[in-house]
Amino acid sequence: MRIDLTGRRALVSGSSQGIGQAIATELARAGASVVVNGRDQDRTERAAEAIAREVPSAELLPVAADLASADGAEALRERAGELDILVNNLGIFGAKPVLEIEDDEWRRYFEVNVLSAVRLIRMYLPGMTERGFGRVMNIASDSAVVTPLEMVHYGVTKTALLAVTRGFAKAAAGTGVTVNSVMAGPTHTPGVEEFVGELVGEELPWDEAQRQFMREHRPYSLIQRLIEPTEIGNMVVYLSSEQASATTGGAVRVDGGYVDSILP
């Protein structure tokens, strides 16, 4: 299968590091023009520079904006213009006992992990439907269907994203626009390395810490390792393509077989 996204314009929210940067890199490699986003201008520009080193032909626009607010979303749109591909990757996570999560923290997680996606879809979907083409992807998680005890607030927001996806897919029915969730499993990023250290001990060597984390906290993974961000980027590239035109309203899994179910 040959995927060519030349002529398509994409935005990946929260793409100044980790999974988002990997997704932006793979979209650029497939020929898309990519808006790289983060909250900090210097960090966002450095991410764009790193992508350009990986993909010298990349057409990139770094835009710093806090998409957890309506003002930040509007500021980004003024610079980014219209889009063909929207990847809502922005998200926060962290371990905390559920009985200690206060109202303000619940609100913060919903603002960042759910409402940032809702705002951008509401902003860009009308233009996509008018033009008869569009691809919207919300980066969800295995935690959407297997609520992790150590971060219930995170899991709940990812569950909400699945419903957001299905609802907006119905709103786009028959227009040529697809809306899907990508359910990522435990993924190897700097943030996850810190998270693993918090759970199993920062003094352990990384390889041993990863094995212990998978054994104790993600024992149902069928690949028995953390997923590499590029593997998620590959799925996003496919869902962005013409070849994925019949896939919409779904929760597509890149979870290493972690979710023990034949359905999401």
Active-site pick, 154, 220, 238, 258: 154
**195 neighbors 93 (Cβ within 8 angstroms):** yes
Query: Does the annotation mark 238 as catalytic?
Result: no
Rounded Cα distance, 264 and 253, in Å: 8
Measure CA 71 to chain center: 21
Which residues are CB-neighbours of 46 under 8 A, at least 6 positions away?
Answer: 16
Rounded Cα distance, 204 and 127, in Å: 50
**109 neighbors 117 (Cβ within 8 angstroms):** no
Rounded Cα distance, 141 and 157, in Å: 10
Burial class (CB in 10 A: 0-12, 13-18, 19+), 78: exposed
Maximum C-alpha span of the chain: 55
Q: Give 262's DSSP letter.
A: S
Helix, coil or strand: residue 222? coil
Question: At residue 29, what are phi and psi to the nearest 5 degrees?
Answer: -60, -30
How crowded is the C-beta side of 220, counted as CA atoms within 13 Å? 11
Helix, coil or strand: residue 17? coil
- Which residues participate in catalysis according to the annotation? 154
